[in-house]
C-alpha cells in the first residue's frame, strides 16, 4: 500500500497519440452482409478464390458464437453498427510518395514514423497502414534487390497471387475462432513479407497500424513467409485516436518458417486504452500464430502490450519441424480499467522441439491482467522441452493478476517446466529508493523495468528503449 499523497502531485501524461487526422475518407455504409463482403472484394479488385475465401469465412462466422470463456467484461458488440471499410480518399494509382496526401504523411510524421525519402528511418523499412489501407512502404527497391518482398497484402494479392493462394489461411484457418472468421471475411489490408531461400533480410521490417476513424473496425491481416535458411526481424506498432466509443480491432497474423528459417516478430501495442473511467478504447481481439514447418526453424514472438481497453491475444507456435523452436516473450501492462487476457500456445508436434515462454504482467489501478497459456506435447514430440515463467506484479491494491497455465502431454519422453510468481511494489521498496534521492516516478519505473528486463532484452534495440519509456509513461500517477 502506497501513500496516496505521494502521487497526488504527479501530472498524468495524456495519451499523446490521441489526435484525429481530418481527412476525407471513403467509407461504406455500416453493417455486415454478403454484399458488403463482395463490395470490399470488388474495391480491392480481388481474384475469385479470395472472394470465395471471404464468403466461406462469413458463412462460418454466422454460425459461430462470440466466445466468453475469458470472462472479460464488455458491452456486447453490435456487428451491424461497424463500418467495415474506410480509406482516406486519394488518387486511384499512386506511383510515388509525392502523390500521397500530405495530411497522411504528416500524420505518420507526428507518430514518429516519417515516410518521405528525406526523413524516413534509415535502418527500418516501414509499411504504414491507415484505417483499412496501406499508405506507403519504404525501401521497396532496396529490399527487392535481395529478393525480399515487403508490401501491403492487397498488393501481394495482385502481384504475388500464387503465394497468397498457397499460404493464406493455412496457419489460422477461417474457422479457427470467432474473430479469425470475422477477419477472414472482411480483412482490408495489412502487410505481406516474403524472404527467399538463403536470404537474411538486410534490415528490420516494420508495420505501423493507425486507426483514425472512430466508427470503423480495423481488420488487418499479415502474412510472413520465410523460405529455407532465411531470416527476418519484423516490428509492429499501433496507435489510435481517443474516442469515447469502443473500436474493434480484430487482426490475424500468420507466420510460416521453413527449414532453418527464423522469424522474429516484435509488437509494441499502444492502442488507445480508454479513459480513467473506462470510457472508450480499442477492443484488441487478435489471432497471431506461427507455423514452424521446417526442420530447425524458429519463430520468436515478443510483445509489449500497454494499450487497448481489452487485449485478447495469444501469439502461438505450431512446432511441426524436427528441432524447431518457439519463443514467447511478453510484457503486458494494464492500468485504470483495462483488461488483458494474453499468453501463448506452444503446440509441440515434431520431435525434439523446444519452446520458451517468459511472461511479465503488470497490473495497476483497477485493471485485470491474466496470463493464459497452453503447452501441449503431441504423441510424436519425443525429446521435446518447454520452459515457462510467468510473473505478475501488482501496483496498488485494486488491481488483479491471474495465471492460467494449461499443460497437456501425450508424450512421456518430454519435459515441461513451469514457474510462476507474484509480487507487489511495496511502500518500503519505494521509500528505500526515494531515501537515496531517486524521484518517486523514477523509482517505480526502475522497478518495473527491472521486472521486465528478461523480456526487454529480447526486443530490438530501438524498441527496447521505446518500451521502457512507454511503460514509465503509462504508469505515471498510477501508484496510489
Nearer to other proteins, 44 or 360 (CB): 360
The span from the CA of 206 to the CA of 191, in Å, is: 9
Kindly state the smallest distance separating residue 312's Cβ from other proteins, in Å. 28
Nearer to other proteins, 68 or 428 (CB): 428
The span from the CA of 424 to the CA of 127, in Å, is: 39
Kindly state the smallest distance separating residue 127's Cβ from other proteins, in Å. 35
The helix/strand/coil state of 366 is coil
Nearer to other proteins, 199 or 448 (CB): 448
The span from the CA of 318 to the CA of 75, in Å, is: 33
Kindly state the smallest distance separating residue 14's Cβ from other proteins, in Å. 24
Nearer to other proteins, 230 or 445 (CB): 445
Kindly state the smallest distance separating residue 301's Cβ from other proteins, in Å. 22
Nearer to other proteins, 49 or 432 (CB): 432
Kindly state the smallest distance separating residue 2's Cβ from other proteins, in Å. 8
Kindly state the smallest distance separating residue 332's Cβ from other proteins, in Å. 17
Kindly state the smallest distance separating residue 369's Cβ from other proteins, in Å. 18
Residue in 237, 16, 21, 212 with CA at minimum distance from that of residue 121: 237
Pairing outcome for strands 354-363 and 385-394: parallel
The span from the CA of 373 to the CA of 380, in Å, is: 21
Binding site for other proteins (CB under 8 A): 2-3, 5-6, 423, 426-429, 431-440, 442, 446-447, 449-453
For residues 30, 34, 39, 40, the Cα torsion angle rounded to the nearest 10 degrees is 80
Region for 350 from its dihedrals, namely left if φ exceeds 0, alpha if ψ lies in -120 to 50, beta otherwise:
beta
326 to 66, 128, 179, 321: CA distances (angstroms): 29, 28, 24, 11
Nearer to other proteins, 279 or 446 (CB): 446
Nearer to other proteins, 400 or 429 (CB): 429
Kindly state the smallest distance separating residue 101's Cβ from other proteins, in Å. 44
Nearer to other proteins, 123 or 426 (CB): 426
409 to 228, 373, 380, 416, 433: CA distances (angstroms): 30, 14, 11, 9, 45
Please compute Rg for the chain using Cα positions: 22
DSSP H or E segment with residue 248 = strand 246-249
Amino acid at each position: 500500500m502506497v501513500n496516496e499523497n505521494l502521487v497526488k502531485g504527479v501530472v498524468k501524461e495524456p495519451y499523446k497519440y490521441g489526435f484525429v487526422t481530418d481527412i476525407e475518407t471513403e467509407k461504406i455504409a455500416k453493417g455486415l452482409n454478403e454484399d458488403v463482403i463482395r463490395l470490399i472484394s470488388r474495391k480491392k479488385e480481388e481474384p475469385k478464390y479470395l472472394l470465395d475465401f471471404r464468403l466461406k469465412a462469413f458463412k462460418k462466422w454466422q454460425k459461430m458464437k462470440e466466445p466468453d470463456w475469458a470472462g472479460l467484461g464488455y458491452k456486447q458488440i453490435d456487428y451491424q453498427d461497424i463500418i467495415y471499410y474506410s480509406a482516406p480518399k486519394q488518387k486511384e494509382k499512386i506511383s510515388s510518395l509525392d502523390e500521397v496526401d500530405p495530411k497522411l504523411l504528416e500524420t505518420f510524421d507526428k507518430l514518429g514514423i516519417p515516410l518521405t525519402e528525406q526523413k524516413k528511418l534509415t535502418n527500418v523499412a516501414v509499411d504504414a497502414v491507415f484505417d483499412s489501407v496501406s499508405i506507403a512502404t519504404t525501401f521497396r527497391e532496396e529490399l527487392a534487390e535481395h529478393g525480399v518482398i515487403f508490401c501491403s497484402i492487397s498488393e501481394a494479392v495482385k502481384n504475388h497471387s500464387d503465394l497468397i493462394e498457397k499460404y493464406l489461411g493455412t496457419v489460422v484457418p477461417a474457422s479457427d475462432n470467432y474473430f479469425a472468421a470475422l477477419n477472414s471475411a472482411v480483412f482490408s489490408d495489412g502487410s505481406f513479407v516474403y524472404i527467399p531461400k538463403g536470404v537474411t533480410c538486410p534490415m528490420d521490417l516494420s508495420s505501423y497500424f493507425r486507426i483514425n476513424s472512430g466508427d470503423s473496425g480495423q481488420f488487418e491481416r499479415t502474412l510472413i513467409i520465410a523460405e529455407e535458411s532465411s531470416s527476418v526481424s519484423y516490428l509492429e506498432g499501433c496507435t489510435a485516436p481517443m474516442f469515447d466509443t469502443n473500436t474493434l480491432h480484430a487482426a490475424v497474423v500468420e507466420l510460416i518458417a521453413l527449414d532453418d528459417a527464423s522469424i522474429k516478430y516484435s509488437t509494441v501495442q499502444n492502442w488507445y486504452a480508454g479513459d480513467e473511467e473506462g470510457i472508450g478504447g480499442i477492443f484488441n481481439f487478435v489471432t497471431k500464430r506461427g507455423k514452424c514447418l521446417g526442420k530447425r526453424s524458429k519463430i520468436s514472438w515478443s510483445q509489449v502490450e500497454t494499450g487497448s481497453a481489452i487485449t485478447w491475444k495469444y501469439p502461438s507456435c505450431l512446432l511441426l519441424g524436427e528441432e524447431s523452436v518457439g519463443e514467447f516473450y511478453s510484457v503486458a501492462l494494464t492500468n485504470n480499467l483495462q483488461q488483458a487476457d494474453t499468453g501463448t500456445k506452444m503446440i509441440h508436434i515434431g520431435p525434439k522441439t523446444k519452446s520458451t515462454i517468459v511472461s511479465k504482467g503488470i497490473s495497476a489501478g483497477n485493471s485485470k491482467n491474466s496470463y493464459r497459456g497452453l503447452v501441449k506435447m503431441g504423441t510424436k514430440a519425443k525429446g521435446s522441452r518447454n520452459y515457462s515463467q510467468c510473473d505478475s506484479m501488482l501496483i496498488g491494491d485494486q488491481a488483479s493478476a491471474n495465471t492460467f497455465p494449461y499443460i497437456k502431454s501425450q508424450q512421456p519422453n518430454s519435459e515441461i517446466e513451469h514457474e510462476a510468481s507474484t509480487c507487489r511494489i511495496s511502500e518500503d521498496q519505494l521509500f528505500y529508493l526515494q531515501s537515496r534521492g531517486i524521484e518517486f516516478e523514477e523509482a517505480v519505473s526502475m522497478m518495473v523495468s527491472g521486472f521486465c528486463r528478461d523480456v526487454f532484452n529480447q526486443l530490438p534495440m530501438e524498441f527496447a528503449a521505446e518500451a521502457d519509456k512507454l511503460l514509465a509513461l503509462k504508469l505515471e500517477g498510477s501508484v496510489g
